[in-house]
Amino acid sequence: MKLAEALSIRSDMKQRIHELENRLHRCVIVQVGDNPPEDPDELISAIDRSYSELQHLIEAIDLTNSQTFLEGRNLSSWLSQRNICLEHRNILLKIIEQAATGQRRVSRNEVRFISTIKVARLQKQADDMAKMFREIDLKLQSANWSVELLPAAGVETEKGVISPPGEDASEENG
């Protein structure tokens, strides 16, 4: 399985857990004499199983990211840099928005406010962060489709499912 496929499955699993949670919320309290639309215990069990599967998948993704190198750095390092670029840019854009929003005065007697920053300079910095984010993201997307997911306990590979530690792998793979 490619890393990109695992990332897609992780997203689907998170969505499924969210849907199970919503279904469970509809079942935990009912009016006296009514039956819940679904068995809450079955939904809780499904949530437990889903989280267990998700944990094993995340472990495999993290292992793959830490042991796969691109231009001398592992993918985890690239991911950190990409995320920092995004957060940094978002802060800059909020500051730019605040500084660029003019203060409305009704009369000349009202207090006047001026920007204390150079908006153009910050905009250039935000644009540079966006460009860096895109460049890193393209590298990561390319790597995701070329890198095989490293097997971690409980993760399905082309050779079958690898059981979590302490479980017998021969039952699932045989």
At residue 173, the pLDDT reads 37
pLDDT at 104: 66
Tell me the CA distances in angstroms from 143 to 6, 16, 75, one per residue in order. 13, 26, 9
Q: Which residues of the chain have pLDDT under 70?
A: 102-106, 153-174
At residue 152, the pLDDT reads 85
Q: Is residue 112 part of a domain?
A: yes
Q: How many Cα atoms occupy the beta-carbon half-sphere of 159 within 13 Å?
A: 11
Query: How is residue 139 written in tokens?
Result: 């590298």
| 24 and 63 share one domain | yes
Which pLDDT belongs to residue 72? 97
Across-strand partners of 31? none
> Is there a single domain that holds both residue 121 and residue 151?
no
Give a yes or no: residue 170 inside a domain: no
For residue 9, being part of any structural domain is answered with yes
174 falls within a domain: no
Residue 172 in domain? no
Predicted local distance difference test score (pLDDT) of residue 103:
66
pLDDT of residue 111: 76
Q: Please give the pLDDT value at position 92.
A: 97
Rounded to 5 degrees, φ, ψ at 30 are: -130, 160
What is the reported pLDDT for 113?
Answer: 77
Same domain, 103 and 126: yes
> Does 126 lie in the same domain as 91?
yes
One domain for residues 61 and 75 = no
- State whether 80 and 55 are in the same domain: no
In this structure, the answer to whether residues 78 and 142 fall within a common structural domain is: yes
pLDDT at 100: 80
Specify the amino acid at residue 85: C
The verdict on 87 and 141 lying in the same domain is yes
**136 domain-assigned:** yes
Q: Are 62 and 80 within one domain?
A: no
- Does residue 15 lie within any of the structural domains? yes
Structure tokens at 103: 């203060």
- First and final C-alpha spacing in the chain: 19
Print the domain residue range for 91: 71-146
Residues 6 and 61 in one domain: yes
Count of structural domains, the chain = 2
58 and 5 share a domain? yes
For residue 88, the model assigns a pLDDT of: 98
Amino acid (1-letter code) at residue 44: I
- What's the pLDDT score for residue 115? 82
Same domain, 49 and 28: yes
Nearest one of 157, 138, 164 to 2, comparing CA atoms: 157
- The confidence score (pLDDT) of residue 135 equals 98
